[in-house]
């Protein structure tokens, strides 16, 4: 992992909620709705790449899901603008 910047990625809707339900940890997204107060962490997630700090892997994932390059570019731009990353 070559991401050494301290900047925290924004939380955003990802796991199907209308509110921000995804939180990035080391380049992968975790479902905030799965937060477990006993362990102090999320129990669901860790497999989906973060679009902010792990963009290349996120884009690859979208390509595998048969999104077009134009759709993907627009989506990334939208996220970056909306969350001012």
Question: What is the pairing mode between strands 45-49 and 22-25?
Answer: unpaired
- 4 vs 37, beta carbon nearer Zn ion: 4
Question: Using only C-alpha atoms, what is the Rg of the chain?
Answer: 13
Using CB under 5 A, count the residues that bind Zn ion: 5
32 sits near Zn ion (criterion: CB under 5 A): no
- 67 vs 79, beta carbon nearer Zn ion: 79
24 sits near Zn ion (criterion: CB under 5 A): yes
Interacting positions 54-83 with Zn ion (CB under 5 A): none
Alpha-carbon separation of residue 19 from 6, 16, 23, 38, 56 (angstroms): 24, 9, 12, 23, 25
42 sits near Zn ion (criterion: CB under 5 A): no
53 sits near Zn ion (criterion: CB under 5 A): yes
Whether residue 32 contacts residue 23, with contact meaning beta carbons closer than 8 Å, is answered with yes
């Amino acid at each position: 992992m070559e991401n050494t910047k301290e900047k925290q990625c924004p939380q955003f809707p990802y796991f199907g909620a209308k509110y921000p339900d995804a939180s990035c940890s080391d380049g992968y997204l975790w479902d905030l709705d799965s937060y477990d107060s006993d362990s102090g962490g999320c129990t669901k997630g860790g497999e989906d790449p973060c679009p902010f700090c792990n963009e290349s892997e996120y884009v690859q994932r979208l390509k595998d899901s048969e999104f077009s390059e134009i759709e993907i570019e627009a989506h990334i731009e939208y996220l970056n603008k909306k969350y001012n990353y």
